[in-house]
Amino acid sequence: MAVAFSCSIGMGLWAQSSTPAPMVPEVNISQGTSLVKLARTAMATYLAKRTPADKQSIPAELKHLDQWTYAACVTLRNNGQQLARSIKSVPAGDAAGPNKPAPVCRNVIAAALAAMRSPDLPDHITKEYLDGLTIEVEILGPQVPVEGQAGRVVMGADVDRLIVPGLTGLKVSRGTEQATMLPSAGYALGLDAIGVRQAALAQVPQTPANTDLPWRYSLLQSRHFVGYGDSAGKSAGLVVELYRGKILVSPDVVDDLARAARLVAHHLMANQSKEGLYSLGATATPLRDHLYAAQVMVQLGQRLGDKDIARSGLQALTYATNLCQRKNGRAFVATPEPADQFSATAMLALALSTAPRNGQTEKLYGEIVKGLVAFGIDHKGFPLCRLDGQATTVRAPLRDAFLASIVLMGAADTPEEHQRYDAMQKALNEAAPTTAEEALWKRRAGLDVKPKGQTIDPLTGFAQVLPTAGFPDETGGFAAAGKPADTELTALALSVLASGQSWPGVTLAADPAKRAIQLSAATRLAGVFCYTMMFRPHEAYFAEDPQVWVGAVRVNAGSARVTPAACAAAIEVFMQATANTTTVPRQ
C-alpha cells in the first residue's frame, strides 16, 4: 500500500553543527505491517491469557528483526481519538548483558501492553473492541544528543535549527524527568521547529531537584506504520506506512490533476455552511482566505463546466458581499475583526474582478474599489487596516497592500483619487518586504523589486524543490531555506513566474520557447507537490472516518493542518497544470 522510502534528514542542516544527523530505522513496509499485527496479537493474547510481555512468543518470521534494538511506540485510537500511547525500550535480560536493550519486537509487545493500561480505555475490554481500534506503531531510530557549539551550553535556537517539522522527533530531559515528542505528533499538531521544542519542554515536570539543572536534548527519526481497525470505514484492515502523514507515490504516477482539483472542490463544498462560509478545522477561517477559496471555486466551476462547484463559489462570494457596508458610493467588508477589513475588501475586489457579474454586483464592485481608494490610505500613502472611518494608525498587511495595488490599477477617476493612488504606489514601491510571501506579491503587482535601502531580498534561497534534492514529499513545492515547502507560496510563486517575473536564483530563459518549457516543467512539478499535500484515502489516521478528509489540502509538508487557502492554492496550481488539456464537463 505504501511506497518504500529511505531518507534521512538532509545534511545541509548539520553543516554548521557538531551534532550528527539522526538516522532512519531500517524497517520496511512489509516488516512494519508484521509489527502492527504483532502489537494487535500481543494485546489479544494478554486479554485472553494474561500473558505478560516478556513471556509472549515472537513469530518465527520476525526473528530476523532481533538484530535491531529500536525503541517502539504504540498508539491506540478509537474513531480517530487518541486513547493511549506508550514508548518502550525494555532491557533484554541478564543473559544478554547489563543494560542491553531488547530487540524491537519485544519493545513493540511491551509498548502495546502498556498502552492497554491507559485509563482512557474502557474498564471491560473485549476482543471486538480491540479489533476496532486503529493501532499506530512508530519505530524510533537511535537518539543523537544535541551538542553545543565550541563546548557551550545548548540553547533552544541550537535545537530549533536541527528540527525538521514532521520528520524529527525530540527527547528532552532535566535531571531524572524526561519527555519525548514524536515526529508524527509534531506533524499531527501542525507544529514548527520551535513549537516541537516547546511542546516537549511542557511535558517535563518541574521539581525542586531539577530546577537548576540544564536541559538535555536528543534528536531522532522514526518509521510510522498505521493499522486501521474494523471500524475505520473503507480503511478497515489496512496497514500503511506514512511519511510525514503521507503515503508516498512516485511523481510519475500523478497524472489526473483535473480530478484532484475536483476532489479538493468537493471537500470545500462539504465544509461550507448554509450561509456560504468555508470552514476547515477548529479555528475560524479568516475572511480573506475564504474569499481566495471562493475566487478559485468560481474559476474551477467555469473551467470544468460544473455548475455545483461554480454555485458554491458564488455562494461563498455572496456571504462576503452580505457583510459589506455601503455609503456614498463606497463600500467595504465589515469583518467581525475590524483589523481585517482592508485584507478582506481587497480580496473581495480581486475575486469580483474575475467572477461573472450582474448589474448589482458590478455596482458593488465599483463601490468597493472606490472604498479602497478613499478610506484605506494614510497621509504617507500606505493602506490602513480599517476602512470604517475609525481612527487608526495600524497599516494593512503588506501582502494585501500589494494585492490592492493590482486591483486599483486604472481605477482612479477624480483628481483626489489619482493623488491617493499615486501616493500609495510611491509608498509601496519604496516598501521593503521582509518575507517571501510579501516579496512575491510585490513582484506580482509589478512594483519595484529593489527598493532603496534593502540589501537582502527575502526570496534569496527561495526555490522549487527538485526530485533529486530535498525531501520526497516536497518535490515540486517552493520553499525557503530551512522551511517546509508551502502550498500557498507554491501557487503564488508559480503565478509570479507565469507573469514573466523571476528572482535571485530562479531565472527565466530569454528565449520564449525555452521559457515556455521551463514554465511547463515548473508547473508540472508544482502540481505533483499539491497532489502530495492533498489528503488521499487512508492518510487521515486521526479522523473518525479518514475518507472524509480526502481532498483537504495541508498548509505545508511538515503539518497536518488544512485551510481553505491551502485548498484554493492547490486548485489554482491544478488549473494551471491542466490549462492546455481538454476536460469533459460533468453531466
Domain assignment present for residue 201? The answer is no
Domain boundary among 90, 107, 141: 141
| One domain, residues 410 and 534 | no
The mean pLDDT value of the chain amounts to 89
| One domain, residues 571 and 528 | yes
Query: In this structure, what CATH number is given to the domain that contains residue 25?
Result: 3.30.700.20
Domain assignment present for residue 479? The answer is yes
Domain assignment present for residue 39? The answer is yes
Q: How confident is the model at residue 93 (pLDDT cuts 50, 70, 90)?
A: low
Structural domains of the chain, count = 3
- For residue 581, the model assigns a pLDDT of 54
| One domain, residues 466 and 382 | no
The Cα–Cα gap between 333 and 340 comes to 9
Confidence check: pLDDT of 565 > 90: yes
Q: Is 12 helix (H, G, I), strand (E, B) or coil?
A: helix
Q: How confident is the model at residue 585 (pLDDT cuts 50, 70, 90)?
A: very low
Domain boundary among 141, 171, 205: 141
| One domain, residues 478 and 587 | yes
- For residue 8, the model assigns a pLDDT of 40
Confidence check: pLDDT of 284 > 70: yes
- Output the CA torsion sign for 26, 29, 31, 36: positive
| One domain, residues 408 and 487 | no
> Any idea which of 333-337, 414-418, 444-448, 509-513 has the lowest mean pLDDT?
414-418
- Average confidence (pLDDT) over 235-248: 94
| One domain, residues 453 and 468 | no
Q: Is 424 helix (H, G, I), strand (E, B) or coil?
A: helix
Residue (of 317, 322, 311) closest to 290 by Cα position: 317
- Average confidence (pLDDT) over 372-401: 86
Domain boundary among 112, 141, 170: 141
- For residue 99, the model assigns a pLDDT of 63
| One domain, residues 415 and 534 | no
Domain assignment present for residue 215? The answer is no
Confidence check: pLDDT of 278 > 50: yes
| One domain, residues 341 and 413 | yes
- For residue 250, the model assigns a pLDDT of 82
Enclosing domain of residue 442: 323-457
- Convert the pLDDT of each residue in 149-172 to its tens digit: 766 788 899 999 999 999 999 999
Adjacency order of strands within the sheet including 134-140: 81-88, 71-78, 134-140, 222-227, 239-242
| One domain, residues 451 and 327 | yes
Confidence check: pLDDT of 384 > 50: yes
Confidence check: pLDDT of 110 > 90: yes
The Cα–Cα gap between 435 and 399 comes to 9
| One domain, residues 510 and 435 | no
Confidence check: pLDDT of 244 > 90: yes
- For residue 98, the model assigns a pLDDT of 54
- Average confidence (pLDDT) over 304-330: 95
- Give Cα separations from 59 to 168, 170, 435 (angstroms): 31, 32, 54
Q: Look-up: residue for cell 530549533?
A: 160
- For residue 583, the model assigns a pLDDT of 42
Torsion angles phi and psi, residue 50, rounded to 5: 55, 35
Report the share of the chain in percent with pLDDT over 70: 93
Cβ distance 9 to 168 under 8 Å? Answer: yes
| One domain, residues 385 and 493 | no
Confidence check: pLDDT of 10 > 60: no
> Any idea which of 1-15, 333-347, 534-548 has the lowest mean pLDDT?
1-15
| One domain, residues 526 and 574 | yes
